[in-house]
Amino acid sequence: METPILLNRFRGLSLIFLALLALGQGALAPASAVTPDEENNVSVYKERSGGVVNITSTAIGYDYFYNPVPTSGAGSGIVIDKKGHIVTNNHVIRNAQRLEVTLSDGSKWLANLVGTDPKNDIAVISIDSPADKLSPVPFGDSAHLEVGQKVLAIGNPFGLQGTLTTGIISSLVRTLRTEEGVTMENIIQTDAAINPGNSGGPLLNTAGELIGVNTAIFSPSGGNVGIGFAVPVSVVKKIVPQLISKGYVSHPWLGVTVQTLSPEIADSLGIKSRKGAIVVQVVAGGPADKAGLIGGQRTVRVGNTIVVVGGDIILEMDGKPVEEAQQMIRSISEKEAGDKISLVLLRQGKRLDITAALGEAPR
């Protein structure tokens, strides 16, 4: 007598299950549909991947017996005009005896070095390709970027040509030290996957405009861990015309090494000023030396910090307080060789006003 009841309950549950299944299926998007964000990814890739090239560099090394051994490396590059100019990283083409560029259509072209700027890890090379084979990537604006903004990277990681990755801007105004020991300012940090081979490729905004040149990753393993860096396009805009016209960049130079004056250091040294830049060293014959700046003469320990004291402390530059050493260096980098700057110094407890003419940094 209980069997019909059990069957009826089973049929009721089955109907409920089928109804829920049908409801769930109705809520799912069709398999062929893409979201607006995915559409943007597809659109940017289709429009800009043709402007991203693969660069293979060949250098000559020597083995234990001094026999010449060719070594090769690979990276990415960005077509910037119809004349065949391509922007990439300096470290991609450094020491190369031969450069070969592979366009998105698979054609290969020998490339010539136009100019390099190790300070910003940027280089320009060129190929003699028909204009109709080149798809320049338009420059965007990096002055108004926001943390959290979506970005896209196209490159050739591990030799896999034409790879797209996406992410966000993780941070701005980062400081990055290159393999040569050069400090790069105002660097963009992103979590878009960047791996070996992505160097020199574009970091794009959602409009497909260039906002940075991918240059480095932080990785204990050598692979992507979500911390990548890019040179902002504002820097690229400034230096590329110089690289094309004369092969190098004229960087402004004061000729000093400076260290931040923190409140802790000021207290320890008995200095009333709470902020500034301590002049550690003055390059003989440099602009600062000619202007009369004095470097440190001895070292003292303040907590865990070694401080070089006895020299000038820069309190102001061009009428603005110097908050820290890097801020002062950053401000100088935005000027031109030959520009004059006004400095307010603290020397042996007295304030002193001087003017210095910036020189051109040694190459």
Active site residue 49: no
Active site residue 199: yes
Q: Measuring CA to CA, how many Å separate 153 from each of 70, 76, 350?
A: 30, 11, 52
Q: Give φ, ψ of 72 to 5 degrees.
A: -125, 155
| Range 20-58 burial, b when 16+ CB lie within 10 A, else e | eeeeeeeeeeeeeeeeeeeebbeebbeebbbbbbbbbbe
Neighbours of 298 (CB within 10 A): 9
From the candidates 126, 199, 262, 333, give the one annotated as an active-site residue.
Answer: 199
Dihedral sign of CA atoms 337, 121, 213, 110 in order: positive
Active site residue 141: no
Token pair belonging to 319: 């009428």
From the candidates 76, 91, 117, 262, give the one annotated as an active-site residue.
Answer: 91
From the candidates 57, 104, 121, 312, give the one annotated as an active-site residue.
Answer: 121
DSSP string, 95-153: T-SEEEEE-TTS-EEEEEEEEEEGGGTEEEEEE---GGG--PPPB---TT--TT-EEEE
Please list the active-site residues: 91, 121, 199
